[in-house]
Amino acid sequence: MELANRLFFRLYQCANMLHKTGTRAVEAEGLTTQQWAVLGALSQPQAEGGISVGDLARYLMVSRQNLSGLISRMERDGHLSTAPDGRDRRSRLVTMTESGRKVWVTQALPKIHAYYEQALADFSISDLTHTLHYLLKLLDNMKRLDDETRGGKESGED
Partner DNA sequence: GCTGATATGTCATTATGTTGACGCATAATG
Partner DNA sequence: CATTATGCGTCAACATAATGACATATCAGC
Nearer to its own copies, 84 or 156 (CB): 156
Q: With b meaning 16 or more CB within 10 Å and e meaning fewer, what string describes 78-108?
A: ebbbbeeeeeeeebbbbbbbeebeebbeeeb
> What is the per-residue binding string for DNA in 66-105, x denoting contact by CB under 7 A?
xxxxxxxx--------x----xxxxxx-------------
- Buried/exposed 27-41: b ≥16 CB within 10 Å, e otherwise: eebebbebbbbbbeb
Cα→Cα distances 144→4, 14, 28, Å: 18, 22, 37
Which of 82, 8, 91, 72 lies closest to 34, judged by CA? 72
143 binds, among its own copies, DNA, none (CB under 5 to 8 A by kind): its own copies
Minimum distance of its own copies from residue 46's CB (angstroms): 14
Q: Is 16 in the site for DNA (CB under 7 A)?
A: yes
List 23's β-bridge partners, or say none: none
Q: Pick one of 48, 84, 119, 156: the residue that binds its own copies (CB under 8 A).
A: 119
List residues binding DNA (CB under 7 A): 15-16, 19-20, 23-24, 32-35, 52-55, 60-73, 82, 87-92, 150, 155
Chain positions contacting its own copies, by CB under 8 A? 1, 3-22, 24, 33, 37, 40, 60-62, 113, 115-116, 118-123, 125, 127-132, 134-139, 141-146, 149
